[in-house]
Amino acid sequence: MLQDNRDTLPRRVGAGLEVAHVLVRDRSKPRVPECRDEWVTTDPEVVFADETVDIVVEVMGGETPAREYIERAIDAGKSVVSANKYLLATHGPALLERAGRKGVDLAFEASVGGGIPVIRTLREALTGDSVVSIHGILNGTCNYILTRMKKAGLAFDDALREAQELGYAEADPTLDVEGFDAAQKLVVTSMLAFGASVPVSEVSVEGITRVDAVDFAAAERFGYTIKHLAIGRDLGDELSLHVHPALVPRASVVANIDDVLNCVFIQGRGLGPCLLVGRGAGDMPTAVSVVSDIVDAARSKLEGQAGLTTRAIHAVPRKLQPLEELSCRYYLRFDVGDTPGVLGVIASALGAEGVSIEQMVQEGTAGSNDLPVSVLMITHETQEGNVLRALEAIGREAFLRGKPRFIRIEDI
């Protein structure tokens, strides 16, 4: 990309950009033809010792040795461009502070949403506004699987297998399908959106492995579809950060961001709604973000003002809202033996916790074959604590086949 745009980039930067070194693990691997042999090295010291290096781009991922390398680059007065969501989510505020003290930039557009300019938009376009909430589809693997469940009626396992065959899911898909990848991206985004420094471990995370084809059909029936969302809300004193599958209205724009696309829906106090959509992964989209960060870092350095962008990010610890206080509407599913009076018991248990029912549907018909019947409900808005207590009570009933299931509803 640097090569392809060598005519226009110097005009944008105010100077030329030259690759000095390419640090690799294995010298013998074949490289793209643009990568000159004399650039390639396996010795990190070559990079740190070279005083002519202004910017270090870290695209190795993971904690070790990326963290040490980034810290050493910062300490050596070099600006850093990183695509490392894990590192930013776990050590972002400390690394930003380190860069700020040293007067260098730490840019990380590629760490969230691939080529979508999420970080840049939050940092610069919304600089005069404040963010009320963000709703992100931040994991392409989950979105692909849920799209296939929606469109082809596949079960989760079959959709996952298909995603793996297409290269959209890893052999071990845990990080993606359990929601941890999205949670890391939510934490990085929250640094910018809410000025929040929050440990990933404190974010409530639920993946998509328990989403059932039955739930998709039921969601459809109620006018919804199911998306895996990373949600952040500024509640004033507290911040609410959650990653989970959610029912979203079928006609909403977010409901139709399908396949491996990612999106971030931002509600700004002044801006109102703003949606950014694009490819969340892939070498070229990632490169677009990395190069835009390189240009920024180079311009700052040339201007003698490296680090100004970085210092403007001010992430402080924020208190998270306890999960039981989360307030929304809920989709509930009870698989029951067709016992007369079941509905009365369920409704009473919900009522006892102040959970009121907005809509109810009974799926499947009673018969001699002893197949369970699904009781499907949409509640009015209520607190999660109430729902959990009611479901615990109902879960003890003998008529129940399997555990009650609930999915939050996001009316975006």
Shortest reach from residue 278's CB to its own copies, in Å: 4
| Residues shown for the chain | 412
- Based on the shown chain and the rule CB under 8 A, indicate whether residue 347 belongs to the binding site for its own copies: no
Would you say 247 or 306 has its CB closer to its own copies? 306
Angle at 67 between CA 82 and CA 40, to 5 degrees: 65
Running DSSP on this structure, what letter comes out for residue 65? Answer: T
Shortest reach from residue 96's CB to its own copies, in Å: 13
Set 85, 102, 150, 185: catalytic member: 185
Q: Which of 271, 343, 347, 360 binds its own copies (CB under 8 A)?
A: 271
- The single residue listed with the structure tokens 């615990």 is 392
Is residue 84 within 8 Å of residue 111, measured between CB atoms?
A: yes
Binding region for its own copies (CB under 8 A) out of 69-77, 210-218, 299-307, 355-363 = 299-307
Does residue 185 have an active-site annotation? Answer: yes
- Based on the shown chain and the rule CB under 8 A, indicate whether residue 256 belongs to the binding site for its own copies: yes
Is residue 267 within 8 Å of residue 273, measured between CB atoms?
A: yes
Is residue 224 within 8 Å of residue 247, measured between CB atoms?
A: yes
- Based on the shown chain and the rule CB under 8 A, indicate whether residue 23 belongs to the binding site for its own copies: no
Would you say 115 or 404 has its CB closer to its own copies? 115
Closest CA to 219 of 85, 69, 63, 407: 407
Is residue 343 within 8 Å of residue 403, measured between CB atoms?
A: no
- Based on the shown chain and the rule CB under 8 A, indicate whether residue 257 belongs to the binding site for its own copies: yes
Shortest reach from residue 92's CB to its own copies, in Å: 17
Is residue 405 within 8 Å of residue 243, measured between CB atoms?
A: no
Residue-by-residue DSSP string for 114-172:
TTS-HHHIIIIITTTS-EEEEEEE--HHHHHHHHHHHHH---HHHHHHHHHHTTSS-SS
Window 376 to 395, contacts with its own copies (CB under 8 A):
none
- Based on the shown chain and the rule CB under 8 A, indicate whether residue 249 belongs to the binding site for its own copies: no
Would you say 114 or 173 has its CB closer to its own copies? 114
Q: Is 161 left (phi over 0), alpha (psi -120 to 50) or beta?
A: alpha
Helix (H) or strand (E) holding 369: none
Q: Which of 311, 354, 362, 363 binds its own copies (CB under 8 A)?
A: 311
- Based on the shown chain and the rule CB under 8 A, indicate whether residue 124 belongs to the binding site for its own copies: yes
Q: Which of 305, 327, 356, 359 binds its own copies (CB under 8 A)?
A: 305
Show the site string, 273-292: x = touches its own copies by CB under 8 A, - = not. Answer: xxxxxxx--x-xx-xxxxxx
Q: Which of 70, 99, 116, 203 binds its own copies (CB under 8 A)?
A: 116
- Based on the shown chain and the rule CB under 8 A, indicate whether residue 121 belongs to the binding site for its own copies: yes
Running DSSP on this structure, what letter comes out for residue 112? Answer: S
- Based on the shown chain and the rule CB under 8 A, indicate whether residue 294 belongs to the binding site for its own copies: yes
Angstrom distance (rounded) from CA 282 to CA 287: 9
Closest CA to 149 of 205, 209, 229: 209
Q: Which of 89, 126, 137, 315 binds its own copies (CB under 8 A)?
A: 126
Q: Which of 92, 115, 140, 245 binds its own copies (CB under 8 A)?
A: 115
SS3 state of residue 341: coil
Say how many C-beta atoms besides its own lie within 10 A of residue 219's C-beta.
26
Binding region for its own copies (CB under 8 A) out of 83-91, 233-241, 302-310, 387-395 = 302-310
Shortest reach from residue 251's CB to its own copies, in Å: 7
- Based on the shown chain and the rule CB under 8 A, indicate whether residue 348 belongs to the binding site for its own copies: no
Please, which residues have CB within 8 angstroms of residue 295's CB and are 6 or more apart in sequence?
9, 12, 13, 17
- Based on the shown chain and the rule CB under 8 A, indicate whether residue 297 belongs to the binding site for its own copies: no
- Residues found near its own copies in the complex (CB under 8 A): 1-2, 4-5, 8-9, 11-12, 14, 109, 115-117, 120-121, 124-130, 251, 253, 256-257, 261, 268-279, 282, 284-285, 287-292, 294-296, 299, 302-305, 308, 311-312, 314
Q: Which residues are catalytic?
A: 185
